[in-house]
Amino acid sequence: MNKYEELAKELHQQIRDGQFKVNMKLPSVRQLCDRHKLSMSTVVRALEVLEQDGVIEGRERSGFYISAANIQSSVPIPEASYILEQPTKINNQELILGLMKSIYNPKLLNLGAAIPAQSFLPVKDIDKASRIAMRSTQHQRDKYMPMPGDRVLREQISVYMRNLNCEVDPEHIMVTSGCQEATMLVLLSCFEKGSTIAVETPTYPGFLQTCELLNLEVIEIPTDPRTGVSIGALELAIQQWSIAGLLLSSNYSNPTCARMPTDKKKTLLDLCDRHSIRIVEDDVYGDISHDPYYRPRPIKSFDKNDTVIYCSSFSKTVSPGLRVGWVVNPTLQKNIEYSKYVAGLSCVTTSQYIMAEYLKLGKHERYLQSARRRYGMQSNLMLERMYELLPEGTRITQPRGGFTLWLSLPSHIDTLELLEKTMAKGVCFNPGVLFSALNKHRNCLRLSCAMEWNENLESALGVLAKESHKLM
Ligand SMILES: Cc1ncc(COP(=O)(O)O)c(C=O)c1O
């Protein structure tokens, strides 16, 4: 271990031990140099590591402070999955789609959809941007938009990417209809039918459905609910099977909200580089840390060989309805563009103009800071409430970003059965089997924390709790 890593580890331990409390200022760089007899560059590097990992946060002209993300809850978190099973063709998605449709029934209160309530979105600024866009693009907006998309929007996305430590030429940004389409086009264009794609388990159901549609096999890699996919398990899988791609969200993945630490991201990238495995990185939740000033870097920001195909969208932060997403990978862009052209000719022109105007307002970062605070508070509230209400033995993730909670109920509770019972009372959620191609996670479920906290929500949580107690 390098000196800076040793110092980062020691400081992190002191923070965990409570020697430094949340929001307390760390000693200055100079004081740390004196105290630990280390050079300035070593101390600065150690602080960078801690900042990257969200343990501390730098405040302009003031120094480093202990991040709110260090608050520990006494709620037990779900255990990591350890079993590595072989690649599989997905075949339970029909059942799942039926379930999804019923979940969108307006007569049901859906506790599980990972869709922000409108009050979490910058509605006034979107309206303002729409008005400007409608006026200024009168002569262009009723036309097809050629690929790779509106130049002004791509320039704005390029600035956004620079803030994530990714230098991307606007020419290398291809606009898509949301992130779902971005990953779909990437999987379609960059992998042969029958290839094996590694995913986390549990994973976002959209990944499984897309792989099924494209005749790709998936291998589910055991995953830690805090730090993401297990590198050891992935190495083992690579030794046994030919894996073409790894499809994951390294920042606040859905449903566990795991965030991969920086060093793990680098190790993972190195492993995939060595084995020519393409990483398809879905970063839709990357902006939603619960620390107002912290944004974790994507794996793409460490990528020197174009191994990573970066996909994202503004659906979780600005507007799911505008359907504006994008893909970055200069090497494969032509293939992806061709698939997009065949599938839908172009992206919705008006949405691109509106999103470009919204970003030009220059208020996005400020909005994100307040949204992050709110998501953090709401996640904590939901976590504590569910732990209070649900049967003993329930484990719940303690996210530091994103807006979903992953709950594991006592092992004999089947959440599909539970769903049947709650649906009869007008309440639904996302049962654990949706998140695996192998019908795993039967005692688990996902809840969303991006809903208005009101009486209806409270009573729906009560129904969920009551029905789970009945199954004990
Ligand atoms: C991990 C992940 N990727 C992509 C999407 C879909 O994004 P979009 O609405 O931009 O297509 C979701 C939506 O829940 C998601 O959870």
Residue 268: give its domain's CATH number.
Answer: 3.40.640.10
- Condensed to tens digits (0 to 9), the pLDDT of residues 285-302 reads 999 999 888 899 999 999
pLDDT value at position 394? 95
Residue of 104, 115, 180, 446 to mutate, ligand 1, most atoms within 8 A of C-beta: 180
Question: Where a domain ends, among 364, 388, 404?
Answer: 364
CB 229 within 8 A of CB 277: no
Please indicate, yes or no, if residue 85 is contained in any of the structural domains: no
Say which CATH number the domain at 42 has: 1.10.10.10
Same domain flag for 377 and 328: no
Same domain flag for 352 and 377: no
Same domain flag for 141 and 194: yes
Higher pLDDT, 365 or 56: 365
Residue of 315, 317, 404, 449 to mutate, ligand 1, most atoms within 8 A of C-beta: 315
187 CA → ligand 1 middle, Å: 15
Number of the ligand 1 atom closest to the C-alpha atom of 177:
11
pLDDT value at position 92? 61
Residue 61: pLDDT over 80: no
Please indicate, yes or no, if residue 314 is contained in any of the structural domains: yes
Residue 264: pLDDT over 90: yes
- Condensed to tens digits (0 to 9), the pLDDT of residues 277-289 reads 999 999 999 999 9
pLDDT classification of 242: cutoffs 50, 70, 90: very high
Please indicate, yes or no, if residue 255 is contained in any of the structural domains: yes
Nearest CA residue ID for atom 12, ligand 1: 180
450 CA → ligand 1 middle, Å: 14
Same domain flag for 151 and 218: yes
User: How would you classify residue 425: left for phi > 0, otherwise alpha for psi between -120 and 50, otherwise beta?
Assistant: alpha
Q: Mean pLDDT: which of 89-98, 102-111, 223-232, 241-250 is highest? A: 241-250
Nearest CA residue ID for atom 7, ligand 1: 179
In sequence order, the 6+-apart residues with CB closer than 8 A to the CB of 419 are 99, 428, 429, 431
Question: Where a domain ends, among 364, 398, 422?
Answer: 364
Please indicate, yes or no, if residue 75 is contained in any of the structural domains: no
Same domain flag for 54 and 35: yes
Residue 114: pLDDT over 90: no
Please indicate, yes or no, if residue 82 is contained in any of the structural domains: no
313 CA → ligand 1 middle, Å: 8
Residue 56: pLDDT over 90: no
Number of the ligand 1 atom closest to the C-alpha atom of 285:
1
Question: Which contiguous run of DSSP H or E holds residue 68?
Answer: none
Helix (H/G/I), strand (E/B), else coil: 60? coil
Same domain flag for 346 and 205: yes
Helices (H), 289-394: 333-344, 349-360, 364-389
Rounded Cα distance between 322 and 69, Å, is 31
Nearest CA residue ID for atom 6, ligand 1: 180
Please indicate, yes or no, if residue 84 is contained in any of the structural domains: no
Same domain flag for 105 and 24: no
Say which CATH number the domain at 454 has: 3.90.1150.10
Helices (H), 214-348: 231-240, 262-274, 333-344
Number of the ligand 1 atom closest to the C-alpha atom of 312:
10
Nearest to 446 by CA among 459, 432, 457: 432
Same domain flag for 124 and 244: yes
Across the chain, mean pLDDT equals 91
Domain holding 61, by residue range, is 3-70
Residue of 316, 326, 430 to mutate, ligand 1, most atoms within 8 A of C-beta: 316
- Condensed to tens digits (0 to 9), the pLDDT of residues 189-223 reads 999 999 999 999 999 999 999 999 999 999 999 99
pLDDT value at position 50? 86
Nearest to 184 by CA among 334, 340, 319, 386: 340
342 CA → ligand 1 middle, Å: 22
Same domain flag for 214 and 335: yes
**Residues flanking ligand 1, CB < 6 Å:** 114, 178-180, 204, 206, 249, 254, 282, 284, 313, 315, 320, 325
Same domain flag for 231 and 333: yes
- Condensed to tens digits (0 to 9), the pLDDT of residues 386-437 reads 999 999 999 999 999 999 999 999 999 999 999 989 989 999 999 999 999 8
Higher pLDDT, 106 or 134: 134
Same domain flag for 296 and 408: no
**Sign, CA torsion 402/404/406/409:** positive
Residue 184: pLDDT over 70: yes
Please indicate, yes or no, if residue 133 is contained in any of the structural domains: yes
Entry pTM? 0.86
- Condensed to tens digits (0 to 9), the pLDDT of residues 433-450 reads 999 988 889 999 999 999
Please indicate, yes or no, if residue 87 is contained in any of the structural domains: no
- Compute the average pLDDT of residues 338-348: 89
In the chain, the number of structural domains is 3
pLDDT value at position 90? 61
Residue of 223, 284, 310, 347 to mutate, ligand 1, most atoms within 8 A of C-beta: 284
Residue 81: pLDDT over 90: no
Same domain flag for 165 and 247: yes
Residue 462: pLDDT over 80: yes
